[in-house]
Amino acid sequence: MPINSLETASRYSEELDTLFAQKSVTGFFADNALATKFVGAKTVIIPEVDFQGLADYDRDSGFSRGSISVSNTSYTMSMDRARSLQIDREDMDETGIANLAGKILGEYVRTKVVPECDAYVLSKLAGVAASRANLIKGDVKAPFAALCEMIQAVQEIVGHDEELVAFVDNAIYAALQQSEEFNKTVAVDQFRQGNVDLTVRSLNGVAIIPVVSERMKTSYTFNNNALGGFTAGPNAREIYMLVCPKKGAHLVKKTEQMRIFTPEQNIDADAYKFDYRIYYDVFVQKSGLDAIWGWVSPAVTVSTQPTDKSVTAGAITGKLTVAASAESGTLTYQWYEAADAHGSGAVKVAGETAASMNIPTDLTAGTHYFFVKMIVDGVAATASSVAKVTVA
């Protein structure tokens, strides 16, 4: 049965790596890691070369001697993530195993692995920019000016012949497209990522890569529970833009070979089992630290979180309230009802756009979950904690 062969497992790993390169907005950073060398399960060495500058030529003594300094810096990879997936024997016949497995694994990489890797890489690069005080204070009503300011700041460090990339939050990208200056100067270019050529819009040769808000936060919690995945950190801010050289970071990704088990080999269930594991991390060399610039949303401080409530069906009263303030800009609100305490499956509560929300009077007996998003200048959203409303 081909699904059980080592050759098939290797083929899946190769195809998933290709899919990662196609779908990840940060996947091109892996192209910079070719010179890296693994020295252990989680340790990688990245060489960095430094030269002495030119000196005057002396007609008597000739050339001034200089040196080349090659330093090998060790970096430790911190992201070791995995998941075991199972497909019940009854969900497929023998002839359809390979096709269904390929579709499921591909969808898993596209919807779970790629978003997490992108979120981690972008948050870490934003952290580098913040640690070097390489943050601008732009105006959401003038995103084109902010983009030009950041490009200029990076080019001041690396020059004008270095290929740059700008990651742009989806809402800011929409505002950019309304900019007359942007539309007059933007062009369509080819962008090389691994072995894939992508079509992107560019500004004077700088590739503009729009990114969904989910992946553009300054910090994340990478869950290690049954739910898994990742969520924005408690004090996360929105990354409006990041600009850096295309070669400005090294994405080191080491995917372990896919392990595949048939129902006969799977001791836990009568199902086909697929084990997927990935080591990855992103590193910036010392020489490139000041070539990463960012623009993040104003900080939102929540002084009062919504609290749990207990009410009686048919006589529901009371409110859920949040108290918050923004470092700058205007705060607006939108309340959501969620499916669980993690905020999953959130649906807007129509008309509830204030800091306080009346508990809906038509709630049925049981437990209901609500939270509010606090939105700065109509762009950056910070979610409150989830409040539980118990209806007796």
| Confidence (pLDDT) at 37 | 66
- Measured between alpha carbons, how far is 334 from 292 in angstroms, rounded to an integer? 33
Please give the backbone phi and psi of residue 332, each rounded to the nearest 5 degrees, phi first: -125, 170
Can you say how many angstroms the Cα of residue 187 is from the centroid of all Cα atoms in its chain?
Answer: 26
State whether residue 198 is helix, strand or coil.
strand
Percent of the chain with pLDDT over 70: 90
User: Global pTM?
Assistant: 0.83
Least confident of 29-38, 141-150, 309-318: 29-38
- Measured between alpha carbons, how far is 218 from 231 in angstroms, rounded to an integer? 11
For the chain, what is the mean pLDDT?
Answer: 87
Top mean-pLDDT range of 184-198, 219-233, 263-277, 362-376: 362-376
| Confidence (pLDDT) at 196 | 76
Query: Can you read off the two tokens belonging to residue 93?
Result: 């016949």
Least confident of 23-37, 187-201, 223-237: 23-37
The C-alpha R_g of the chain, in whole angstroms, comes to 25
Whether 213 shows a pLDDT value over 80: the answer reads: yes
Whether 1 shows a pLDDT value over 50: the answer reads: no
Residue with tokens 């059980």: 4
Burial class (CB in 10 A: 0-12, 13-18, 19+), 72: exposed
Enumerate the β-bridge partners of residue 273: 86, 261
Per-residue pLDDT band for 43 (boundaries 50, 70, 90) equals confident
State whether residue 217 is helix, strand or coil.
strand
Percent of the chain with pLDDT over 90: 55
| Confidence (pLDDT) at 362 | 93
